[in-house]
Each structure stands twice: as C-alpha cells, then as structure tokens.
Amino acid sequence: MTSVALPRPIFDDSHDEFRDVVRRFVEREVTPHLEAWAAAGRVDRSLFQKAAQTGLIGINVPEEFGGGGVEDFRFNAIVIEEFARAGASDVSMSISGENDLVAPYFSAFGTPEQNERWLTPMIEGEKVGAIAMTEPGTGSDLAAITTTAIPQGDDFIVNGSKTFISNGLLADFFIVAVRTDPDAGRQGISLLVIDADAPGFTRTGPLKKIGLPAQDTAELSFADARVPRANVLGGEGKGFLNMRRNLAIERLSIAVTSMARMRATFEQALDYSKERHAFGQRIADFQANRFYLAELATEIEVTQTFIDRCILDASSHQLDEVTAAMAKWWATELHQRVIQRSLQLHGGYGFMREYPVAHDYMDSRVATIFGGTTEIMKEIIGRRLTR
C-alpha cells in the first residue's frame, strides 16, 4: 500500500493464513469471471460449491452441521474484505450473505431436522440460501410487513411479496419474515423457511440496479403458497425478536464491506494523483488535493479502528444493535465522501467505466440504504440515548 496504514492487531497468524487462502481464491475463481457475471446479473452456481470446498462458507457454524466450528467473526470479515478489495463486493454478497445472514438463524434457532435439511447442504455448496424480509411497501420498517402465513391444518397458506432479495434467483430456500397472526403486531411475526419449489411461489429478476451488477437480486411472490408449519424457524411469534438479534451482524457486514472498498478506492486515487500531471505538476502536488488526501486518510484510519473494535465485539458475541448502527451509518457515509473525492481526483477518467473508481461510485451508493437506511440507524441510536 502506498499510504501509511496503521497495523491491525486484531488479527493473528491464523487469520493471516486464512486471508492468503481467500485472496488466492478470489484471484483464481472470482476476478476472471466478474464481467460475465455482471452481464448475467448473477454469479455462476458453481461458485458456491468451490467456496464451500475452500472452507469459505459456514465458518462459524458448528462442526456437527458441516461448518468450521470457529466462533470468530474475524474470519467472516476477512472474506468480506478480500472480495471487496478485489472490486467484487457484489459477489461477496452472495457468499457472505450465507455466512452472516442465513447461517446464524439456523445455528441459533434451527432444529436438528431443519439444520440437516437446509443448513448442511448450504454449507456444502449444494443448496443456496437467502433471507427475504423487505417488502415493496415497508423498506427498513420490518414491523410493518404484510406478507401473511395463515394456519390451515398442518400447513401455512402464504400470501404477499418480497423485493430486493439477494440470491433471489439462485436460492433453493428462503428464510421469510411473515405474519402468522395479523392481529398481534410485532408478536405476530414469524420466520418461515420456504423452499423455492413450494406450490404458489414465483420469483422474477434480476432486478435492474445501477450498481452491484453481479449481485443476484429478485422479487418474490406468494399466492396461496402452501408451506408446512414444521418450517417455522425459532418459534411462532418470535420472528421480530429473532430478526433484531441478527441485524447487528448484518449491519456490521455492510460496514466492513464499505471499509474495505473505500480503502481500496482511496489507494487507487492516491496512486493516480501521483502519476497524473496538470499545469506542470502532479495532481497530488496541489495543496487543495493534498488536504483532501490528508483528511480522507485520517478519517479512514480512525474509522478502521472503530470497525475493528466492532469486529472483536462480534467475535465475542458482545456487539449490540446501537454500536452496529453507529458502525453502519458512519462507515457507509464516509465511503460516500471517499468515493466522491476519489472520483474528483480522477477528473474525467473517473467517469469512465474502465476505471475501478467508476464502478465503486455505482456500487457504493446502496450501502447507506440496505440493511436499514442511515436515517433509521440514527433513529436507533437516538432512541437509546434518550429513552
């Protein structure tokens, strides 16, 4: 790296060795396919199998279900960082989505039968899993979901829709937030595992996004879909509480992605500013630009220290929703400032798709929206402060 980067003492030799494995995997199995996957709107399904064989899926899932059995989020963070560093944040969302969003629900709430049916095949790369919470009319307000699952004998009859679902087209099963009791408010929300071949279930996509082109995003529809009541994950009426429990990890994952991506983009902008000349001197030699670089480098290092603390908290199961909200909104908003200045330093070339900074400009924008908008993150923090 060309800038002065502070050491990160949260990692030891085992983490460094794992980082080398992930980096080689990305170089071998991801980077050569990025353009093709972007054009297709999804990654190739074989990626999940190769990632599983390399040990990149289910890192902290108990060994009895085929996982690595390592309760250490630092390994999860390394996967995110190495994909993001290579400009493959959209691909990372497919793999890390299973690690940080899907697997924790099964590990925490799944019965042995459920884990054998869905978790183990996912960790082996044989099945792809996804989370389906967001609806066309709810966005960040999970308490307002309207998709219903009405009991009928040994089944639920599910009606409603979900949107912006990652892994939506490739997934073999979904953990779906539904209302099993429409009159019980938050206490009427449950998590229901729905197989992609369930009668009455359809999906459309990929949705046309302005960024993250290789990230498989779809809309799901349920029209009298019949799902066994045995597919409830974590107990009826406990879905909202269980979702809140895992949202901190989801938001930290987003923060880690922004942190890694902004660092890579800043390094590229710094290199460019020292190579490109204008008016007889390097771009980096203009005082205004040196100030921009100094400010961004400082903010990046300060933020990295905070994110690393959050990674350690997550590794020891101490990360709370307020701290995660702080990490998510601050890192993603700083990413916006870094990318704006980095693109500006590139001048007209920053607007050309052939430059990584242009891709980051498009890919990074959604980070302040998904997983809960910046405004929702501030609301979470503010409520805790003032209650």
In a domain, 8, yes or no: no
> 3-state DSSP call for residue 67?
coil
Q: How high is the pLDDT of residue 3? A: 53
Closest residue by Cα to residue 272 from 359, 349, 334, 360: 349
| Average pLDDT over every residue of 21-46 | 97
Q: Phi first, then psi: what are they for 23, rounded to 5°?
A: -65, -45
| Model pLDDT for residues 159-194, shown as the tens digit of each residue | 999 999 999 999 999 999 999 998 888 999 999 999
| Average pLDDT over every residue of 117-141 | 92
Retrieve residue 6's tokens. 């502070």
pLDDT band at 2 (very low <50, low <70, confident <90, very high): very low
Number of domains in the chain: 3
> Do 144 and 108 share a structural domain?
no
In a domain, 111, yes or no: yes
> Do 244 and 233 share a structural domain?
no
How much of the chain exceeds pLDDT 70, in percent? Answer: 98
In a domain, 374, yes or no: yes
Provide the domain limits for residue 198. Answer: 131-237
| Model pLDDT for residues 214-257, shown as the tens digit of each residue | 999 999 999 999 999 999 999 999 999 999 888 999 999 999 99
Please, what is the Cα angle at 88 between 61 and 249, to 5 degrees? Answer: 35
Q: What is the pTM of this model?
A: 0.94
> What are the helix and strand counts (H, E) for the chain?
13, 9
Q: Confirm whether 250 is a catalytic residue.
A: yes
| Model pLDDT for residues 326-366, shown as the tens digit of each residue | 999 999 999 999 999 999 999 999 999 889 999 999 999 99
Among the candidates 104, 127, 150, a domain finishes at: 127
CATH assignment of the domain containing 377: 1.20.140.10
> 3-state DSSP call for residue 158?
strand
> Do 229 and 299 share a structural domain?
no
Q: DSSP string covering 268-328, please?
A: HHHHHHHH-EETTEEGGGSHHHHHHHHHHHHHHHHHHHHHHHHHHHHHTT---HHHHHHHH
| Model pLDDT for residues 287-325, shown as the tens digit of each residue | 999 999 999 999 999 999 999 999 999 999 999 999 999
Q: How high is the pLDDT of residue 172? A: 98
> Do 292 and 154 share a structural domain?
no
From the list 116, 250, 295, 375, the catalytic residue is 250
Q: Point out the least confidently predicted range of 138-152, 235-249, 272-286, 367-381.
A: 138-152
- Evaluate if residue 29 carries a pLDDT over 90: yes
Retrieve residue 211's tokens. 């960024």
Q: Tell me how far apart the 2 most distant CA atoms of the chain are, in Å.
A: 79
